[in-house]
Amino acid sequence: MAKELPGYGTINVPKDREVPFGAVTPAPVCTQDLFKTSNWRIVRPVKDDEKCTRCLICYMSCPDACWEYKEADDEMYWINNFCKGCQICINECPTGALSAVPELDFPDGVARLEKPF
């Protein structure tokens, strides 16, 4: 798409490189297999569905965008592969719906990597 920029003339931006106004992109748009950090964690956040009010504070406070809200189900989903167990969401949750559970209590859920990171 050709855009008119004052002082620069016309520039051509390909369709797939376009960003919306303010350069705010919906994140995460894709995930990188090389940056899996699930083997960093000692504990994982476990959600209590009855206490969760869908306030989205976990979604906003997570540094790795590991909480996802699906409107169709009206539920929060945890993204296992990139959660590094920092427990920020557990500390921020206003209703106490999240709790830290040791990772070895679960049989699955960690990407087993050949190298440390």
Smallest distance, other proteins to C-beta of residue 37, A: 8
Report, in Å, the least distance between residue 38 CB and other proteins. 7
User: What's 90's DSSP letter?
Assistant: H
* CA triple 111-54-72, angle to 5 deg: 80
Q: How far is the CB of 72 from other proteins (least distance, A)?
A: 32
Whole-angstrom CA distances from 23 to 2, 20, 63, 68 are 17, 5, 19, 21
In angstroms, the CA 18 to CA 4 distance is 14
Q: How many CA atoms lie within 13 A of 56 on its CB side?
A: 6
Among 28, 38, 64, 67, binds other proteins (CB under 8 A): 38
Query: Is residue 32 involved in binding other proteins (CB under 8 A)?
Result: no
If one asks whether residue 117 binds other proteins (CB under 8 A), the answer comes out as yes
CA-closest candidate to residue 84, choices 107, 57, 113: 113
Query: Which residue number, 50 or 105, has a Cβ lying nearer to other proteins?
Result: 105
Smallest distance, Å, CB 109 to other proteins? 8
Which of 3, 11, 13, 42 touches other proteins (CB under 8 A)? 42
Task: Please report, as ranges, the residues that interact with other proteins according to CB under 8 A.
Answer: 38-42, 84-86, 102-104, 107, 110-114, 116-117
